[in-house]
Chain A
Amino acid sequence: MPFAPLLRSFMLCCLVVLSALALAATQAQAQAQTPAAMPAQGERLAAGLERFKADSFADTEAAVAAIAAAGSAQGVAILSALADRRLFAGAAGVFYRDAAGQAFDALTGQPATIPADAAMVRLNNRLRNVVQAALGTMTLLSPDPAQRVRAAEAVFRSRDASALVTIEAALTSEQNPRVRRAFEEARAAILLASADAPEELLIAAARRIAEAGDNDAISLLRQFAGQTTGGLKAVIDQGIVSIEQAQRIRAWGQTLWFGISLGSVLLLAAIGLAITFGVMGVINMAHGEMVMIGAYVTFVVQELFRNHAPHLLDWSLPLAIPLAFITAGLVGIAIERGVIRFLYGRPLETLLATFGISLVLQQAIRTWFGPTNREVSAPSYMAGSFEFVGLQITYGRLWIVVFTLCVFAALLLVLKATPLGLQMRAVTQNRRMASAMGIRTRFVDAMTFGLGSGIAGVAGVALSQIDNVSPNLGQSYIIDSFMVVVFGGVGNLWGTLVAAFTLGIANKLLEPFAGAVLGKIIILVLLILFIQKRPRGLFALKGRAVEQ
């Protein structure tokens, strides 16, 4: 192997560097721990902690500064506890809980019990930033890379000049590319903020920040754009322009994603109606209330989990899906058997009757569950967001898009590949012929209505994640749902799909220019014009079925 000696010498080199660093680190630590330094450190910490007891924001700020300056071992633990609302102060002293809930005395760092009179130390948003900045400077050398990145980000924001030395030193040894990048950006931010740095350093810093290319970077550059002159200003302006350009391109992608996501919500809300209204021709004003019932089922299921099996809370949503389908489906069947079957072929009466049912259902829910919103929390896998080629995509929305497409596929499968689906299509296309073939048309009617209602209930499970679970939930979707079904072409599931995404994307394209209110109006006007031209929607059914 020709490169073996090379490799060996490289390894050796690494080892030397590493051990030198380790030595330096232990030396630094030994220095901090010398007996002479100890009492002063303890005193400073005690003086800092004392000020937490005053329960005033000014004192708390002074305490944070004192603790950060004291450099004692439990400083990081104290400040993290403060940031996470786990620090308590009372006459007997200052105490904190660690993330696991174990209580400690802040002064000694020994386990302790928190006395009853100790109150949580309060922060406001400004102080929270101060604490984050202090923590950032203190945790730059943390062994955990994720923590180092967070620390560097905090320093990027605070631009705390005192952190510069630590960052420079850390950069010489940092191996993790993510952490390196964060450190370099933080260093650039500090340099840019310090007026006395030489110009070439500033220019390099500005370039480095422009490369980062995110919101924080452009925010920082804009902040300094007005205060600089000459070569530096040119670099900053150029940086801003290039980030803006990238953002403009990303904005299109983002709008498209927002449109898809809104489209999936519209589709989800409308898909049940595509069955009850689209396939059966029932003008079902109570459709929104089926969605609401689904959302309330989710609430009840989640409440049961919360009370009896809190550790399984994340599973409440998947379990709510079949339950919501069954509940809303049964209500739907009851409505069909109880009211709608007497009104087939009389659209006006159906409209009024179903409208009445929707009011009854709303008020019933209001009486049972109260008029206020009910809490349905997001499971952990639906919270937060991630970056995808520069686009910010929230997990909740992504899951809803995926879920909607699954529901759509399942429904298609039911209609095309099951005996019930075959019978449904037969009955809706030619009721008398189907009856003559021995299909129990009444039963099929009930099942079809139940299927549409059940799917609306399933939609409610997903919508409980993005909207309020309240008796009014259904109302906000009924108009949109009819819009989608009519636009797509009554009786055509694919039409509903295309219509939902078209309306969603069109809405989101219009919103930045026209605003949410005007955007919606424009969409409605366009839709009316479209219906004038094509009364049967995008994909009109052809053939004999239409004539009935």
Chain B
Amino acid sequence: MEQLSPIEFPVGKGSNTSIHKAGMRWGEFVIKIWLQVCALISLVTTAAVVVLLLVESVKFFKVVSPLEFFFGTRWVPLLEPSSFGVLPLLWGTMLITIGAAVIALPMGLACAIYLSEYASDKIRAWVKPTLELLAGIPTIVYGYFALTFVTPLLKTFIPNIQVFNALSGAIVVGIMILPMIATLSDNALRAVPISLRQAAYALGATSYEVTTKVVVPAGLSGVMASYLLAISRAIGETMAVTIASGQTPNLSLSMLESIQTMTAYIVQISLGDTPAGSVGYQTLFAVATMLFLITLVLNIISQWILSRFREVYD
């Protein structure tokens, strides 16, 4: 082997064995601070949302009693005599959410089961991106779809349905959250170890029994988490229900009538000319706070379920 000549490293000057700090690495330091600041932006965002909603809601509840807000059954914030019972808005949101859930929860799970248990890799590679595409379509498009396709279609079966109705909104929101449930549940079901399925098949179970008695129960927490996320998404959904289901706060049980969801109300206020600072304007924040809290609780439960689920299989 040829003789080696020593390499000159201008960085570690002096002895070639020094391992002492050669001084502060300022570039590295600055970069680290920058990265940290960026990561803090998300914390600041949360803090800003919470503080904003809290402060404005407190202002609102100085004028309107919480009793009236939470238990009142009339929502007439802008006209005299005004009334600030949020129940009609809450009910509108619930109608849409329940309707969407009735459609999307079973169908989404069926899709997930088909994708993870039955579909060949080729079909899967084709269907899953298609479903993801469906999930990526802007909600305004679903609103358009509800108004120009679903409602006219419903009218041929139910002639007395109103132009703006809860049913049509619920259907499109259901279609909208279905891909989300399908893809997330598919991931959960596929995380169930193959060995579990093989064990069940080895005992002479049919594919139906393996799926319903072994795979789905094993992946249940993941499926539940996807359900909660999807429901939270349905509650926060804005444009489709605003367009499809109208602007009439309504405590009616009928899904054929126009209703108003919390989100649709927020849109209505911000499109109008309600002066900033008035009670009518403050309702915006009170309603948004409710929306925020409801979705937050659902998200937190869903994450809690998911984190437990991860511990089991990882």
Partners in one complex: no
Q: Which residues of A contact B (CB under 8 A)?
A: none
Q: Which residues of B contact A (CB under 8 A)?
A: none
